Amino acid sequence: MRLELKGLTKKFGSFTADDDIDLTVEPGQIHAVLGENGAGKSTLMNMLYGILKPTSGEILIDDEPVAFSGPGDAIAAGIGMVHQHFKLVGPFSVADNVQLGREHTRGAGVLSARAARRAVLDVSEQYGLRLDPDAICEDLPVGVQQRVEIVKALSGPRTELLILDEPTAVLTPAEIGELLDIMRSLAEAGTSILFISHKLKEVQAVADTVTVIRRGKVVAELEPTASETEMASAMVGREVSLTVDKTPAEPGEPSLEISGLTVVGETGVKVLDGLDLTVRAGEIVGLAGVEGNGQTELARAVLGLIRPDAGTIAVDGRRVDRDSPAQRIERGLGYIPEDRARDGLINEFTVAENIVLNQYRDRPFAKGGVIDAAAIRRRAEESIAEFDIRTQGPAEPASSLSGGNQQKVVIAREFSRPRRLLVAAQPTRGVDVGATEFIHSRLVTERDTGTGVLLISSELDEIYALADRIAVIYNGRIVGEVGPDTPREVIGRLMVGAEPDGAETEAADSAAVADFDAESPAAPDTATTDDDANGGDRDH
């Protein structure tokens, strides 16, 4: 398939999301579309997939104009799409999810489970996507769920163009490398791929050509050999620093003291096993480890979202392990959750309401128990300007924002009130390089004003760039604390539970670092997302 977009434009009222976009995807080509949060990338893909109707312009397939009234038309034309927010029915099996909308039947409309299973196995084998057709989707890791989405997109009558909209946003480095390998094999088999991203290393690793979109317009056509600086500058429209400028820390008294923290999971296994950790005022402690070793449970336990089975948590010398989340917030705890959809936002609430979600009872936002809507709006307008939140205004629902702009709302809320301690879990997940630069700078500023910062990140580059001290977590325990000048190989040994003196095998060390190291060609320099791909959502 050869795809050509000519003058494609989409307006929402007076707002222009995409403006006169021209783009061509050749057969068997991986064509990357780069752009910052709200650049218009997902809106463009939604038009191509029939979710949105273009305001003007045309779509051509093999030089013939086409008009899609819905995704069914796009699928029939040979276009498949993997949305950045998965469209799976959790309690359904893999086979049931793959056949939704194109059910396999026998006789008088009776569903054929055997045919559905066979379809999954055939596509999985053809493209090297390992899947169990009987597995329940909600029980699968995120990376495997994404394979289900890819198989679903490829299992139509003929998928010749695959749209991948921010596909690596929530994947581990190992899963990202696996996905990029799948993309290469698909392209070699003749499938054209539109790869939507703003992760520079991934684009360099896999793309054949790169189109850069900024504020709804094509601003550059680049080769994948272009430097990260060149790509970042084209995306943001200014020079972007890809390094963090900070002076040595001056740690003070402990802001966070954790002793013997133990959490037993639903299966009876200890996900935190007697964990000890201290974060001092005026320092950033980076928590390094392969995902799934207790990082999520640690962050949630510190905020009070889960109650530990043993151990103590103290903030500024006062025990808080029996306090509610609201009480901990009142005592100066800030929290950037790794999952903004679950823990960070109420999607039905407006941008303004979300920005004061943990302050709406306090002055100046409430007086005598009555909410001051004007004060809330003023705070929202200030935050929208300061954090460059791409929105039509404070009254817009959070669900309408792109993923990266939703993350900015969470960041703005936590940075807009006094804190003694900040737990930042994946703080740059879902934001572009320009916003990442800004967030990194703000984290350093927090440190310099005396706040203790616990940074939990799946990217070792981010840990190295920001941390004054690195704590390594393995199997729910802190197995070592090292300085930011420690070689990656040493941290790799700690991450697999070995002694840092080299007792572990070189192969295990390399595997650990490769699974975590953001300098790998297949891993991201920033973790990002963009818009959800349902009909009401759009880039701003």
- Edge-first strand order for the sheet with 421-425 is 333-336, 421-425, 452-456, 284-288, 469-474, 477-482
Task: Report the C-alpha gap between 217 and 238 in whole angstroms.
Answer: 16
Looking at the fold, whether 445 and 297 belong to one and the same domain comes out as yes
Does 242 map to a domain? no
Percent of the chain past pLDDT 70, that is, above it, reads 89
Does 201 map to a domain? yes
Local confidence band at 377 (pLDDT 50, 70, 90 cut-offs): very high
Local confidence band at 435 (pLDDT 50, 70, 90 cut-offs): confident
Instruction: Report pLDDT for 138.
Output: 83
Looking at the fold, whether 226 and 270 belong to one and the same domain comes out as no
Does 259 map to a domain? no
Looking at the fold, whether 335 and 214 belong to one and the same domain comes out as no
In angstroms, what is the C-alpha Rg of the chain?
24
Looking at the fold, whether 38 and 119 belong to one and the same domain comes out as yes
Burial zone of 381 (CB within 10 Å; 0-12 exposed, 13-18 middle, 19+ buried): middle
Find the mean pLDDT for residues 511-519. Answer: 47
Looking at the fold, whether 220 and 294 belong to one and the same domain comes out as no
Looking at the fold, whether 168 and 76 belong to one and the same domain comes out as yes
Beta strand extents in 330-447 (DSSP E only): 333-336, 366-367, 370-371, 421-425
Does 44 map to a domain? yes
Query: Residue 430's closest CA among 532, 514, 517?
Result: 532
173-188 and 506-516 helices, crossing angle to 10°: 80
State the chain's maximal CA–CA distance in angstroms.
75
| H/E segment holding residue 508 | helix 506-516
Looking at the fold, whether 206 and 275 belong to one and the same domain comes out as no
Looking at 236, 256, 280, which one is the last position of a domain?
236
**Please, how many CA atoms are within 13 Å of residue 140, restricted to the half-sphere of its CB?**
26
Looking at 218, 236, 254, which one is the last position of a domain?
236
Instruction: Report pLDDT for 430.
Output: 67
Query: Residue 528's closest CA among 282, 113, 176?
Result: 176
Looking at residue 403, its amino acid is G
Query: Residue 43's closest CA among 74, 23, 16?
Result: 16
Does 171 map to a domain? yes
Q: Is 343 in contact with 325 (CB distance < 8 Å)?
A: no
Find the mean pLDDT for residues 460-470. Answer: 91
Instruction: Report pLDDT for 521.
Output: 39
Burial zone of 216 (CB within 10 Å; 0-12 exposed, 13-18 middle, 19+ buried): buried
Looking at the fold, whether 195 and 82 belong to one and the same domain comes out as yes
pLDDT digits (tens, 9 = 90+) for 80-124: 888 877 788 889 999 888 888 776 666 666 777 788 888 888 888
Instruction: Report pLDDT for 243.
Output: 77
β-sheet bridge partners, residue 106:
110
Does 418 map to a domain? yes
How many domains would you assign to the chain?
2
Does 188 map to a domain? yes
Looking at the fold, whether 200 and 289 belong to one and the same domain comes out as no
CA 366, distance to chain mean position in Å, is 34
Query: Residue 86's closest CA among 432, 538, 532?
Result: 532
Instruction: Report pLDDT for 241.
Output: 72
Task: Report the C-alpha gap between 540 and 530 in whole angstroms.
Answer: 10
Looking at the fold, whether 361 and 218 belong to one and the same domain comes out as no
Looking at the fold, whether 232 and 268 belong to one and the same domain comes out as no
Q: Is pLDDT above 90 for 298?
A: yes
Instruction: Report pLDDT for 283.
Output: 96
CATH number of the domain within which 70 lies: 3.40.50.300
Q: Is pLDDT above 90 for 404?
A: no
The two three-digit tokens of residue 302, written as one number: 């510190």
pLDDT digits (tens, 9 = 90+) for 179-218: 888 889 889 988 999 998 877 888 999 999 999 999 899 9
Find the mean pLDDT for residues 38-53. Answer: 89
Looking at 236, 256, 278, which one is the last position of a domain?
236
Using alpha carbons, list the distances in angstroms from residue 395 to 177, 205, 268, 354, 378.
Answer: 40, 40, 45, 10, 12
Find the mean pLDDT for residues 461-474. Answer: 93
Does 257 map to a domain? no
Evaluated on CA atoms 404, 408, 414, 418, the torsion sign reads positive
Tokens 């997302």 found at: 529
Query: Residue 140's closest CA among 214, 89, 202?
Result: 89
Instruction: Report pLDDT for 444.
Output: 94
The two three-digit tokens of residue 40, written as one number: 């218009």
The separation between the first and the last C-alpha atoms of the chain, rounded to the nearest angstrom, is: 30
Owning domain of residue 35: 3-236
Cis peptide before 133 (omega within 30 of 0): no
Looking at the fold, whether 231 and 272 belong to one and the same domain comes out as no
Find the mean pLDDT for residues 526-537. Answer: 38
Find the mean pLDDT for residues 485-494. Answer: 87
How many other C-beta atoms can be found within 10 angstroms of the C-beta atom of residue 7? 12
Find the mean pLDDT for residues 329-334. Answer: 89
